[in-house]
Structure formats: structure tokens, C-alpha cells
Amino acid sequence: MPMMVVHVVLSTVASVFSLVIIILVVLWRLKLRKVKKPLDGDQVNAEYEITSQSLETKKRLFTYAEVQWMTNNFERILGKGGFGTVFHGFLEGTQVAVKMLSLSSI
């Protein structure tokens, strides 16, 4: 009977040790992923330039009738949140997300 106890204890210790090693490796890899920095600062600037050129970030106000026309009478809802509902629409041939602010967000 003592030999069986030794096997159970060794199996348990080996399992716990393996689990701890696996957790440490996963945490180490996650930490490495967060710490990685670009080798060249120009790469970051190039990425920023591409994004800033491709996205127009101007806030524009439209009349209710214009919003109704852009969204095809509020046909397709993309999402709802605390600041209002977001609708899919088109503005001058370009797909847009149109946010209708709720009264509580003004």
C-alpha cells in the first residue's frame, strides 16, 4: 500500500509542476507580445500617415431630413449605445456610419 501512495503523490506533484510551467510560459509569451517595440521609428510614422490620410475625422452636423435621406429612412442599425443609435448610410457615394445622438447625450 505505501507504494501506491508514493505513485499518487508523484503523479500529483508532476501534474501540478507541469501546470505551473505551462502557466508561466503563457504569461511570459503574453508579456513579450506587449513589450515588443518597432525596430525603426519610421515604421510607426508611416503607419500613422496612412491612417490619418485615409480617415476623415471631421464632426459634421446635418438636418434630420439629410440624415433620413443618407440612411434610407434609418433602414439599417449598426449599433446602439449610451450616446445614441448608429445607422448605416451613404454620403456622396461613400459608406458612412451615422450617429443619431440621444437627448441624454447632448
* Residue 11, pLDDT above cutoff 80: yes
Is the pLDDT at 49 greater than 60, yes or no? no
**Domains annotated on the chain, with CATH:** 56-106 (3.30.200.20)
Q: What is the mean pLDDT of residues 57-77?
A: 86
- pLDDT at res. 89: 93
**C-alpha cell of residue 9:** 503523490
CA gap 42, 105 in Å, rounded:
40
Contact, 16 vs 23, CB < 8 A? no
Do residues 88 and 71 touch, judged by C-beta distance below 8 A? yes
99 is in an annotated binding site: yes
Cβ–Cβ < 8 Å for 57, 63: no
Please state the separation of Cα 55 from the chain's center in Å: 18
Helix, strand, coil percent values for the chain (each to nearest 5)? 55, 20, 25
Average pLDDT over residues 41-51: 49
